[in-house]
């Protein structure tokens, strides 16, 4: 009965539910590259609050840090 209610709730929510391995992360800048991968410029995104974009869920930081996929803070770039 509980599983049926959860299933119905999931279907009612539609696109509002974030997939398991994904999360909304605030991005403040975009790095623009040319076709060959050369740096062109930095573009600000979303002002002071950043632009929330759906991306892979960032991994937890440990003593052996792993960079996040498709975005990270300036110390890892």
pLDDT at residue 33, rounded to an integer: 93
Q: Which stretches within 1-77 are classed as H helix?
A: 2-13
The phi and psi torsions of 20 (rounded to 5 degrees) equal -55, -45
pLDDT in tens, 22-71: 888 888 888 899 999 999 999 998 878 889 888 887 777 677 667 776 67
Q: How far apart are CA 55 and CA 68, in angstroms?
A: 10
Q: How far apart are CA 20 and CA 34, in angstroms?
A: 32
Question: Which residue ranges make up each domain of the chain?
Answer: 18-76
Could you tell me the sign of the dihedral formed by the alpha carbons of 76, 48, 39, 56, in that order?
positive
| pLDDT-derived band at 18, boundaries 50, 70, 90 | confident
């Amino acid at each position: 009965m509980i599983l049926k209610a959860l299933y119905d709730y999931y279907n009612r929510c539609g696109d509002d539910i974030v997939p398991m391995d994904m999360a909304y992360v605030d991005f403040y800048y975009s790095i623009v590259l040319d076709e060959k991968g050369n740096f062109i410029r930095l573009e600000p995104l979303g002002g002071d609050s950043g632009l929330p974009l759906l991306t892979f869920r960032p991994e937890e930081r440990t003593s052996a840090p792993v960079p996040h996929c498709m975005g990270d803070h300036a110390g890892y770039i």
